[in-house]
Amino acid sequence: MAQELDAATSAFTPHAAERKNGGMHMSEVTLEMSLKPFKAIDNASIDRVITRMFRQWAMVIEKFDSVAVLLWSADGSELLDYSGDLEKTFEWAHFIGRANEFDGDWDRKRDPQKLSPHARRYEYTEHPVSFTYADLRAIVLALKTVGEAVSGKSVRVGTTLDPGPEFSISDFKYRRHPEVCTAGSMGAKSFMVSYETLHADDYPYRAYPEGIPEGLSLATFLGAQASCFMEDMGFDYLWLSNGFGFGAENWATTGPLFDGERFTCDTKYIDEVCNKTLKFWHDFREACPNFEVQTRGTNLSVGIDFATDGCATKAIYDGDFDLVPPPNSPWAALDKNFGLELAGFMSRIAELPAGKGYMYRYYLHDPWWINSPWFDRYEGEPHDIYLPLSITRLDESGKPERSGYLNILTVDTSFGEMPDEAVATVAPHLMRALDTAPDAVPPFVWVYPFEEYQTKDPATGSYRLSKAFFEDWFMIRAINEGLPVSGVISSAHFARLVEHVPSAFANSVLYVPVPQAGSPLERALMAHGECGGRAVVYGSLTNAGTGLRARLGVSLDEPLEGRFDVEFAEIPGWEGELRSTKLAHNAELSDGGIDTVLDQGADNTLALTTVRRGSELRVISVEARDASSGDGLFPGAGTFVWLRGTNDHEVKQGGNLLKPYARSSCYITSAEMRRALSRFGFDIHFDMVDADAHVPVITIHRHENAFIFSGYCRDTTVGCRMHFPLGVPVLIGHEVAIHEGVGHYHFPRSFRRECRVFVEQTEGVVSMTEYGPVSMVMRRRVLLEGLKDATMYVFPERNQPEKCELLLNSVKPNSTGEPFETELVETPWGWAYRTEHVTGHVMVSTEFDEITYLEEQKGACHE
C-alpha cells in the first residue's frame, strides 16, 4: 500500500500561492471526524465509511463550493512523533475519556468505583484496530477521491493539534517533553503552551532525524515537523485546537497579566508577554510557510484574552500568517452561556486577517466524552444554530459579510457511530439558518474596540487591561440579560466610515464603549450623534473627553467602590424586573470606581439610575436627549444613553470563569443595556416568577426586509413583553396577546421566527400563520388575524412592494377583499405598507418573481 501511495505524492502538494493570496473561495463546509468509524481498514471498508458520510451530508454539502474533512486521528502527537517511517504504528484517539491519566484526577469520594471517563480512560470498542502511517495516508487519499466522486465537489483534508491531555496517549507531551506543558487547564502542567522551548532529545523526527537540539522553540519544531507530516500524509491544512497559539492559559479568566485580584501595571512585562505569543506565529510560519492554519481559539473574547494573557489578536491577524480566525466557542454553548459565546464570537470577527472569511462551528457529537450535544445537551433544539448564525459582521464599508466556513464537530459519536437521525434532524435547521442569513445592517450594532483594547493609551503610554476585561464581561452579561444585539463592526471601520458618511448608522442603535479622549472613535461617536444618531455608551468616563462628558451633562468626582443603595427614575416597564436595590462595585474588575455626578443645569439630561452611600451620591446611567429630537417613526434622534456599569460577576476560586451575581441579591447593571432601548422606542421586558430565573437570549437581524427573531429560553416560564417604534412585533408562527398596547409572548425553548408586521392596537390576541398559496400568481400567503381597529405596518419581502398584495377579510379563493386604504411609506428600516383602523384579518400575499407564462395562459383563457 505504501508503494502505491508514493506515486500519488504529487497530488498532495499544497497550493501555497493560492493560500497566501487568499484565493480560495470562502464557501466551505467541513465535516470533522475521528478514526473511530474505521473499524476495519481494508480499502472497501474505508470507502464504505467515507461514502456513507458524504451521502449523509449531501444536502448541506450542496450549498457550499467545496468540502473539507478535519480528521481527529489523535491529539497531534502522531504529527509530533512522526519519523517518516510509514510502516510504524501511532497512538490514535481510540479512547473514551481522558487518554492521559494524571495523579490526583480521581475523586475517590465522588466516584469510588472509577466509573467516570474523567477518572479513567476506556476503550471505545473491544478490539480497536491498529493504524500505521501508511494506513493514515491511505485514508486521507480516500477521503479526497471518494469524497469528490460522491459529492462532485473538491475536497481538502486537515489534521489537528491539541495542546491538552484528552484524546490520545502522548509520549511527546508528558514523558519526552513535559517542559512545554506549563498551563494548568486540566490539572497542573497539563497543556502545552505555544511559546515554550524544548530540551534536547535523540528521537528521530521527520524534520529533525538526529533529534531536537537544546533550546529549540516549540513553534519552530512544530512548523518544520507539521510541514513534513502534512506533505507526506496528504493533508492540506492544520487545525490548532483549544486555544493553542492564543496565549498561555486558554480557558481560565486568570493568566500571566491577571491573578484573579489585580491586573499588572508593568507595561514592559505586558509587552514581553504579548511578544511571546506573536513570536510563536513568526517562528511557526518561518518553518511552515505553505499550509493554511485554522484555529479554534479560546473560550473567551478578544478583550479578555488580551487583559489576562496578553494575546494580541490584532497583531496575529495583521501578521500575514495565513490563518482562519477562531469561530464561536462550542464550550460556552454547552454551558448555556450564550452571552459568552455570542460576545466572544463578535469580538473575534470584528476584524479579520486579510483575505480570510470567518467560521461558524456546530457541536453535533463528541467523539471522546459520551455525549452528543444535539440529542442531550441541546435537547434536540437548534438554538446554537440559530443564535450564532444570526450574527451580522459589518465590514469596512458597513456591509454585512456572511461566514464562509461551516464546521460540523463531529459526524461520529464516542463509539464511532454516524447516526442518520442526527443528520436528518440537524441539517434542516442549518439550511434554514443559512437561507435566512443576515443581509442588512441590524437594528442594534456593537461597535467593538478591536484595536484599542490591545494598544497603549496614547495619553499615558500604558495599557488599560481592566477596561478591556470589564467592558467585555459587561456585554457578556448584557446578552445573557436579553440584550438583542446581533451586529458588530470594529471601532476602526466605524470611525473611517462615519468620517465619510456621518449618517451611516442613522437607522440603528449603537452600543459603544466609552472612547478614549481625542480618539478617532470619540470623533466618530460625536459625529454620529450630531447627525441624529442614537447610541448607548457604556463604561467609565474617567478618561473620556470633556466634549463627551459635556454632551452627557455629567462631571467627575471622587471615585467610590463597595456596596451602594440604588435609586431609579420612574420609567415604565422597569419595575417588574427589579429584584434588588443593592449594588456591589469592584473597582479592579470594573475599570475603576464610580465617580460621575450630574451637572447642575444640564437641562437635557435625565438621571436614570443613581447610587447612594450615606450622603454620597453618584449617577450610573443618564439619558442625554437632543433638544430638537422628536418622536417620529424612530424616537430619540440624537440621544445618547450612558451606562457606567459594574462587573456583575465575582472571581470564582478554582473555576475558569467569573461567577455571575444573583439578581435577587445584587442590582444587575448590565440589564440596563436592554432597558436603555426603551429610550429609542424598543421596549423589551421580562416577567419572572423566580427572581433568579434565566431570561431569554434573543437576537434580531434583517433578512429580505424582514426582522428575524432568534432565541433560546432556558426557562420557559419567563414571559416577554415587547413594543417597538412601529408597534407590537407579530412573529409568523406565534400568537401575541396585546394588553394596553403591549405585546405579551411566551416563547418555546428555541425559535427563529420571521416578523413582517407591526401592529398598534389596545387589546386582543393577534396571530400570523403560513397559509397555502393555492394560486398560480402568488407564491406565498401569510394570514394575519385578530385585528381590532389596528394600525399596522407590513414589510414586503425583498423590499419589493410591487410584489405584495394585502386583502382585508378575504375568503377563498382569496382573490378579492373588502376595500381599505393602504399607504406605502419609507420607514427607517425599509419600505412598508401602512394602514389604519383595520378590523378582522388581512391576507398578505407575495407574487412569483416571474409570471410571464401564467399571463399568457390567462390571456388564452379570456379568448
Q: What is the pLDDT of residues 481-514, one digit of tens each?
A: 999 999 999 999 999 999 999 999 999 999 999 9
Per DSSP, the three-state class of 664 is: coil
Per DSSP, the three-state class of 791 is: strand
pTM: 0.94
Q: Distance (Å, rounded) from C-alpha 19 to C-alpha 26?
A: 11
**Stretch 615-624: mean pLDDT, rounded?**
96
Q: What share of the chain is helix, strand, coil (3-state, %, to 5)?
A: 25, 30, 45
pLDDT at residue number 571: 64
* Contact partners, residue 341, CB within 8 Å, separation at least 6: 328, 329, 332, 333, 384, 387, 388
**Stretch 639-644: mean pLDDT, rounded?**
97
User: For residue 722, which of 769, 770, 663, 766 has the smallest C-alpha distance?
Assistant: 766
For residue 131, the 8-state DSSP code is: -
51, with CB counted inside 10 A (0-12, 13-18, 19+), is middle
Q: Distance (Å, rounded) from C-alpha 818 to C-alpha 812?
A: 13
| 311, 303 Cβ separation under 8 angstroms | no
| 225, 217 Cβ separation under 8 angstroms | no
Write down the H helix ranges in 296-409: 302-309, 313-317, 330-334, 338-349, 383-386
pLDDT at residue number 114: 81
Write down the H helix ranges in 152-259: 171, 218-233
Residue 141 has pLDDT above 50, yes or no: yes
Pairing of strands 823-827, 830-847: antiparallel
**Length of the chain counted residue by residue:** 863
Backbone angles phi and psi of 363, in degrees to 5: -90, 95
pLDDT at residue number 190: 81
**C-alpha cell at position 372:** 452528543
Q: Distance (Å, rounded) from C-alpha 531 to C-alpha 534?
A: 9
User: For residue 737, which of 786, 777, 701 has the smallest C-alpha distance?
Assistant: 786
Q: Please state which CATH number belongs to domain 2-10+28-390+403-435.
A: 3.20.20
Which pLDDT band, with edges at 50, 70 and 90, does 574 fall under?
low
Which pLDDT band, with edges at 50, 70 and 90, does 850 fall under?
confident
**Stretch 749-755: mean pLDDT, rounded?**
97
Q: Which helix (H) or strand (E) holds 95?
A: strand 95-96
Percent of the residues in the chain that have a pLDDT greater than 70, as a whole number: 93
**Stretch 12-18: mean pLDDT, rounded?**
30
pLDDT at residue number 600: 87
Distances (CA, A) of 7 to 10, 234, 607: 7, 12, 76
| 34, 53 Cβ separation under 8 angstroms | no
Per DSSP, the three-state class of 730 is: strand
pLDDT at residue number 117: 84
pLDDT at residue number 24: 31
Residue 5 has pLDDT above 60, yes or no: no
CA dihedral of 71, 77, 79, 83, whole degrees rounded to 10: -140
**Stretch 714-726: mean pLDDT, rounded?**
96
| 800, 830 Cβ separation under 8 angstroms | no
What value does the mean pLDDT of the chain take?
92
Q: Which helix (H) or strand (E) holds 859?
A: helix 852-862
Q: What is the pLDDT of residues 262-288, one digit of tens each?
A: 999 999 999 999 999 999 999 999 999
Residue 16 has pLDDT above 50, yes or no: no
Per-residue exposure over 329-368, b if at least 16 CB sit within 10 Å of its own CB, e if not: bbbbbbebbbbbbbbbbbbbbbbbbeebbbbbbbbbbbbb
Q: Which residue shows C-alpha cell 434565566?
A: 694
Per domain, the residue ranges of the chain are 2-10+28-390+403-435, 444-681, 700-855
Q: Which residue shows C-alpha cell 513570536?
A: 279
Name which residue leads in pLDDT, 227 or 580. 227
pLDDT at residue number 22: 33
Q: Distance (Å, rounded) from C-alpha 586 to C-alpha 265?
A: 17
pLDDT at residue number 20: 32
**Stretch 651-663: mean pLDDT, rounded?**
86
pLDDT at residue number 627: 67
**Stretch 784-792: mean pLDDT, rounded?**
98
Percent of the residues in the chain that have a pLDDT greater than 90, as a whole number: 84
Residue 11 has pLDDT above 80, yes or no: no
pLDDT at residue number 413: 97
pLDDT at residue number 105: 63
**Stretch 220-248: mean pLDDT, rounded?**
96
pLDDT at residue number 119: 82
Backbone angles phi and psi of 361, in degrees to 5: -125, 130
Domain 444-681 has CATH 3.30.70: no
Q: Distance (Å, rounded) from C-alpha 407 to C-alpha 316?
A: 22
Pairing of strands 719-723, 405-409: unpaired
**Stretch 95-110: mean pLDDT, rounded?**
78
Residue 90 has pLDDT above 60, yes or no: yes
